[in-house]
Chain A
């Protein structure tokens, strides 16, 4: 029985595995390969191997001098890396704090909890492009409601060009992401909170521990694994951010992230191989964090 069952299992797995190989495995390998070639968008087949040329190369001027070129010395790339890291760090931190707060509220028993929980899911369900457009409108320098509100409340002395101004463009991008992703964070943390047995709180109350102490000494340590997993999950998502930046602040070096850098090079600047090399680096970063996630989550694989 075992053997025929294993045969059936293989048969059941094969279509899924072939599909994943076709849409993930093979394209990934090809992307990495393109990174070592001089492929261009119009001539993928004519791609020739140039080794590490896209990453780092010495460009001689012919008079004995020259300069280093390639991704590893590309200011724009490093700017994109920096932008991505700042974006990830800030958004994930804020989302964790806000998400925890919302999760604590949702973990309390109150009438209409289901409604509030559904409402919290709304930003998550809205397409990112739509979110970006909605916020672009709200952040509009002339007619935006954020400026209007800020002025009315006396928080702003003059309207701010949130999206266009180099000082605030990144803030705007982060704001949209925080709005969109905090609910997701809150739900993941809520799931962690709900796994804490209620009697622990009752025991703490009987012991006379005050609520703030209970939070720091009981809730937080017990929810920490769930929070950690949620943080890594979100960080992975934030590191590949594309939609918000592309829609909200196109062609802006203040907000250009790694993903945007890659897409632009691949399909707009006709630097297919260069973009492939960049996406290979991006993949490496995310792969490492994924491994960390799998270890942190201690997933049940049996």
Chain B
């Protein structure tokens, strides 16, 4: 139910600054995912929003009101933790009731809220059980239930699925997506290092790197138009191939190891560029048709549905090509691949994307 505004938020632990001035606007009812490698500050940022850590500098507003000095309980937030953090000695019911009771809600009101949440999460039959008697997925549902009953303005998730096994993770992901659809007014912030969760759940993704925002956008924006080389390599699996490239006299781009220069129509200067192309955008070039790269196959990884072909085009790293399982590719053979012009990404020497003019 809240709009969040972060203005130049900074956080230091001792002398080390870990969040370097973050500006962010999150609209009401939106599900925003913070994603990034470990140590990028995503969890710290979430904890700053929760009020579990104090902001060193900057201002944080919920619906235009500063919450800088408000303790967590007065911010109207609820949080789901990575390790569930259920109270081990309390039953499922008491776990959900604890916060409400502390807030002084009446017995009947508490009961009603919990029953409603239990129905929603299919926990009705386990209200009397202790957390240790539940499976991982059930525990996570209780943790979510504990958050729901608080009827929060902002719902925070800190890597909630990373303790679950792969099958359960997929299932819970769907449940969280449903929850978001149902709780249209509740703003959700979700921290993960898993890009699949980020891509599938997010209305918008915030990519963080070293305590700074690298890019904010919808999942498809990030995938199709990464603003930086970092985002390009972070989103998408397997990661985007980035090949060192130079600019020819005619203003064309010449990737190292490429068959021929490519005209990208961007105004280019500087010499140490990077040309990016996603493995799934590369296809086998028809005989006679021009190719982008040509090289010897050094390794073929069969994934079942697809195969990943490692191509030695004379660079340090092999070029990864994702091909359908039916494509003929054998180790030691030569392969010519090409990609549509619009799928090529160009990054300057600072790592920023260079867009076609």
Contact = CB atoms under 8 A, between A and B. Distances in A.
B71 A2 contact: no
Contacts of B51: 1
A2 B68 CA distance: 12
Contacts of A2: 54
A2 B48 CA distance: 12
B72 interface: yes
A299 B52 CA distance: 29
B156 to A, nearest CB: 15
A153 B52 CA distance: 73
A197 to B, nearest CB: 26
A1 B72 CA distance: 8
Nearest to A2: B54
A1 B48 CA distance: 11
A2 B52 CA distance: 9
Interface string B39-53: 000000000000110
A34 B51 CA distance: 53
A34 B52 CA distance: 51
> Which 7 residue pairs are nearest across A and B when measured between Cβ atoms?
A1-B71, A2-B54, A1-B51, A1-B54, A1-B72, A4-B71, A1-B52
Main secondary structure of the interface of A (DSSP, over half): helix
Nearest to B52: A1
Nearest to A1: B71
A2 B54 CA distance: 7
A1 B54 CA distance: 7
Contacts of A1: 51-52, 54, 71-72
Contacts, number: 7
A4 B54 CA distance: 12
A190 B71 CA distance: 47
Interface in B51-109: 51-52, 54, 71-72
A71 to B, nearest CB: 49
B350 to A, nearest CB: 37
B95 to A, nearest CB: 22
Nearest to A4: B71
Contacts of B72: 1
Contacts of B71: 1, 4
A151 B52 CA distance: 75
7 contacts: A1-B51, A1-B52, A1-B54, A1-B71, A1-B72, A2-B54, A4-B71
A180 B25 CA distance: 69
A2 B72 CA distance: 11
A200 to B, nearest CB: 31
Interface in A8-37: none
A51 B54 CA distance: 54
B276 to A, nearest CB: 43
A4 B71 CA distance: 9
A4 B72 CA distance: 12
A9 to B, nearest CB: 15
A3 to B, nearest CB: 8
A274 B58 CA distance: 64
A1 B50 CA distance: 11
A150 to B, nearest CB: 58
B226 to A, nearest CB: 37
Nearest to B54: A2
A2 B71 CA distance: 9
B13 to A, nearest CB: 12
Interface string A192-216: 0000000000000000000000000
A139 B172 CA distance: 73
Contacts of B52: 1
A60 to B, nearest CB: 63
B10 to A, nearest CB: 16
Contacts of B54: 1-2
A169 B353 CA distance: 89
Nearest to B71: A1
Contacts of A4: 71
A6 to B, nearest CB: 11
B82 to A, nearest CB: 20
A131 to B, nearest CB: 40
Nearest to B72: A1
B72 to A, nearest CB: 7
A1 B71 CA distance: 6
B11 to A, nearest CB: 12
Interface in A40-70: none
